[in-house]
Structure 1
Amino acid sequence: MTEPLREAIRGVWNRVDLADRRVADTVDRTDIVGRLTGADYISLAALFVGWGSALLFSRGEPNWGILVMFAAFFLDKVDGWYARHTGTSSPFGRQIDSFIDIFAYLLPAALLYHVSLAPSPFASLVVGFLLFAFGGLRLIRHTNEGFGSDGGDSYYHGTTVVHTNLLVVSNYFLATFVGLWNGWVAGVLVGLACPLMVSDYKAYKTDLSHALAAVVALVAGGLALALELGYV
């Protein structure tokens, strides 16, 4: 073997040496898996279930998709409760939670509108864009700012992705049970509501608001199951 060929082979080997490619253990290195807490693993479970609901919507199974989506909602609430009760709340956990919310709330809402409500591909394109654009910006702001405080009461800055998701679900049932309701009306309402997610509206985080959200989810889940089983 000639010396130039040997040097060429050595150069290639040095470039693919896996040991040299590993990031050193320094203070600048983030061990992303090592930092996960129990609450974060619950969030990842919500991601798994949320993705399952998205697959159901994409297969044209809106009622089962709604039921599975609400299971993701439940896990999303459990992770926050677990973090508070174990003292593991952190900005890092809030970043993970916001990332998961895209798949638990925004993606299912966009797919539900696309599969069951959209009167045209253009309407689906616009509504889906507005959901992801304003919803994503809202989650980025919440990750950066956290909760606001008003006289000891915590609030979200702007309406939440939960509100917007439930608006899409409400329009699905209205279009199912109300003859004059249609995808155009639903698209306009959802489109107008999306900018509220980045508004200065104070959405207070109270036990009552959580209870109301739970009641709405239970009613919607019951309606979805009744529709699927042919009772209504």
Structure 2
Amino acid sequence: MNSPEQVPQDDDAEVVEPARPRRKGIYALPNAVTLAALFAGFYAIVMAMNGRFEHAAVAVFCAMVLDSLDGRVARMTNTQSAFGEQMDSLSDMVSFGAAPALIVYEWALKGQGKWGLIPAFVYCACAALRLARFNTNIGVVDKRYFQGLPSPAAAALVTGFIWVMDDAGFKNVSTMPGMPWVAAAVALYAGLTMVTNVPFYSFKDVSFKKTVPFIVIVAIALLIALINLHVPGMLFGLFCVYGVSGYVVYFMRKAKGKPVSVIATSTDEPDERGLH
């Protein structure tokens, strides 16, 4: 058998090395934003332990803003990583699971003894279940909707209620008749809604790169002005509307005999349009 002919190499030819696969590492920028969100959740817990509930609520809302930024920063800078995804989930569990549960317990439930632990723990457990289900179903859920109330919105319901009440002058709530029960109801509603199959709009199909009518910009300016009138009340009101919107969609579609599941019928096309 003859050996293949050797092709003479040109001395002036540039040797192109094969591209090495990109190393899966830890990227500083998006994870720094995630750590900032984690610190906001930790700070909220510390403030609640010191009885400064307004600061605790504000810290949770700051964590929400930071949580919405880390993924966008990672996509804009092309620095997504499996490490970042896991870090984000752990940060969410602290900021939107443990922190709101501890804040509502310190604010209103600790005077109820062991009974006060139940609503706070149910909320915390539901947040963990919600995050675990989100991570496992991420590839088969219609991305226009969340399966159950997202944990940041649930945290906004609980801490927003506390922020409004504290701003209105309600102090030593754990000793007030009736108020602990109201706080427990809010915590249970937010927690249990997280683990339902009710569809909540995700706003993920909203593109900021497309042109919009001029009236949309006017509406945004008006919304900002309305929020500025009374920040705690307006933010809590917005999240209350969002917190019941999923049930409205669910029962409207049920009444019309339409399917309401957000699970896609094909794992090959998780972005297909419409509920299933």
Match of 1:155 in 2: 145
Superposition deviation, residue 154 in structure 1 = 2.5
Match of 1:12 in 2: none
Superposition deviation, residue 181 in structure 1 = 6.2
Superposition deviation, residue 70 in structure 1 = 2.3
Match of 2:117 in 1: 125
| Cα separation, partners in 2 of 1:75 and 1:117, compared to 1, 3 Å | same
Note if contact 2:54-2:163 (Cα within 8 Å) is conserved in structure 1. no
From 167, 183, 187, the counterpart of 2:157: 167
Note if contact 2:144-2:202 (Cα within 8 Å) is conserved in structure 1. yes
Deviations, residues 59-116 of structure 1 (Å, cap 9, x unaligned)? 1111122222322222212212201212333444222211101121222211221121
Give the TM-score, by structure 2 length. 0.57
| Cα separation, partners in 2 of 1:115 and 1:58, compared to 1, 3 Å | same
Q: Secondary structure at the match of 2:200?
A: strand
Match of 1:140 in 2: 132
Q: Distance in 2 between matches of 1:70 and 1:220?
A: 10
- Counterparts of residues 8-47 of structure 1 (less than 5 Å): 34-47=25-38
Count of aligned pairs = 187
Match of 1:69 in 2: 60
| Cα separation, partners in 2 of 1:36 and 1:124, compared to 1, 3 Å | farther
Q: Which amino acid in the other structure matches residue 85 of structure 2?
A: R
Q: Which amino acid in the other structure matches residue 131 of structure 1?
A: Y
Note if contact 2:31-2:84 (Cα within 8 Å) is conserved in structure 1. yes
Q: Distance in 2 between matches of 1:188 and 1:36?
A: 41
Deviations, residues 152-192 of structure 1 (Å, cap 9, x unaligned)? x5322211111211221243256454898611022023213
From 165, 176, 190, the counterpart of 1:193: 190
**Structure 1: where are the runs of 5+ without partners?**
1-30, 224-232
Note if contact 1:94-1:143 (Cα within 8 Å) is conserved in structure 2. no
RMSD of aligned C-alpha atoms? 3.4
State the percentage of identical aligned residues: 27
Q: Secondary structure at the match of 2:149?
A: coil
**Structure 2: where are the runs of 5+ without partners?**
1-22, 171-175, 207-219, 236-276
Residue 219, structure 1, aligned to residue 231, structure 2: yes
Q: Secondary structure at the match of 2:144?
A: strand
Q: Distance in 2 between matches of 1:138 and 1:199?
A: 9
Q: Secondary structure at the match of 1:99?
A: helix
Q: Distance in 2 between matches of 1:219 and 1:58?
A: 24
Note if contact 1:158-1:198 (Cα within 8 Å) is conserved in structure 2. yes
Match of 1:202 in 2: 199
Note if contact 2:164-2:233 (Cα within 8 Å) is conserved in structure 1. no
Match of 1:28 in 2: none
Q: Distance in 2 between matches of 1:166 and 1:103?
A: 14
Q: Distance in 2 between matches of 1:148 and 1:155?
A: 11
Superposition deviation, residue 37 in structure 1 = 4.5
Deviations, residues 192-214 of structure 1 (Å, cap 9, x unaligned)? 33122122122222178xx88xx
Structure with higher Rg: it is: 2
From 83, 104, 110, the counterpart of 2:101: 110
Q: Distance in 2 between matches of 1:78 and 1:148?
A: 24
Note if contact 1:127-1:191 (Cα within 8 Å) is conserved in structure 2. yes
Q: Which amino acid in the other structure matches residue 129 of structure 1?
A: F
Q: Distance in 1 between matches of 2:158 and 2:123?
A: 10
Give the TM-score, by structure 1 length. 0.67
| Cα separation, partners in 2 of 1:216 and 1:83, compared to 1, 3 Å | farther
Note if contact 1:156-1:205 (Cα within 8 Å) is conserved in structure 2. yes
Note if contact 1:147-1:156 (Cα within 8 Å) is conserved in structure 2. no
Deviations, residues 127-174 of structure 1 (Å, cap 9, x unaligned)? 221111110011111122226654xx5322211111211221243256
